[in-house]
Amino acid sequence: MSFDKDGRPGPDGSAAGWDAGGGEHLAVPDDIRELDADVRAYHREVRAADRRRVLRRVFVHSRFGITLPVLLAGLFLAALYSVVMLVVASPRPTAPHGAPLANPKVAAGRPGGLLPKVRVSDSNGAFSDIRSIRPAVLILTPANCNCAGEIRSAATAAEHGRLHLTVVGTSTPARPSGIADSLISIRTEPTGLLLPAYHVGAKPVILLVRPDGVVSKVLTSMPSSNALDSDVRALATAGPSR
């Protein structure tokens, strides 16, 4: 191959890679540093192309056949569902149960004694011994009792003591609105023996029952919220009655 006087290949000044015009449009600077800006721009374009290629591969052509955002969203929703189910489905902590039933010297139906031996029914008509409900916050309600406020206060105190309130009447007591079902149980005592034992008249009476079945307090009037909270919390830590 021959070169002309300008160092270009070919006898006529043209070859592969050279245009017919002799490449006069190409400008080669005397100082290579003059190309720095062009070199930096080129590398920026290369990096941008690499990023686009990676993003397309990750977000569009994932190995799982779905896009990564969809996968991450699914994992987040699954984790959130698990947390919610743990909170909702976990059993509510309650005071210790299973203490043996006491045999106090005080007669049943009086403070310091057991509850009278009567059976109560739940909303499904199933009967159980009222003495099996322990420790307990019981509120005895007379017929046609307008005592929603007292029931709410007792339910709040029971919740603070990690118990639930049991409402007992000779007929099915009305369930006050605004109280979660998990905080209150409605029971019916059809024999009519329980309420007279605690002198229930026109107003409800609150009974605080220890884990061993002993009635620690009979409250014929609603105490302050702080006092009732303190009395209910004491049920969980009460030792055996003597």
pLDDT digit string, tens, across residues 82-98: 777 765 554 444 444 55
Gap between the terminal Cα atoms of the chain: 120
Residue 121 has pLDDT above 80, yes or no: yes
Query: Which residues are within 8 A (CB) of 219 and not within 5 positions of it... i.e. 6 or more apart?
Result: 205, 206, 207, 208, 228
Dihedral (CA of 7, 10, 16, 21) sign: positive
Cα–Cα distance between 184 and 25 in angstroms, integer? 92
pLDDT at 215: 95
- List, as one string, the DSSP characters of 172-235: -PPPPTT--GGGEEEEE-TTS-HHHHTT--SS-EEEEE-TTSBEEEEESS---HHHHHHHHHHH
CATH top-level class of 119-237: alpha beta
Rounded Cα–Cα distance for residues 201 and 212 (Å): 27
* Least confidently predicted of 31-35, 145-149, 158-162, 184-188: 31-35
Confidence of residue 74 (pLDDT cuts 50, 70, 90): confident
Per-residue pLDDT reduced to its tens digit, 143-176: 888 888 999 999 999 999 989 899 999 888 778 8
Domain ranges of the chain: 32-89, 119-237
- pTM of the predicted protein model: 0.58
Residues constituting the chain: 242
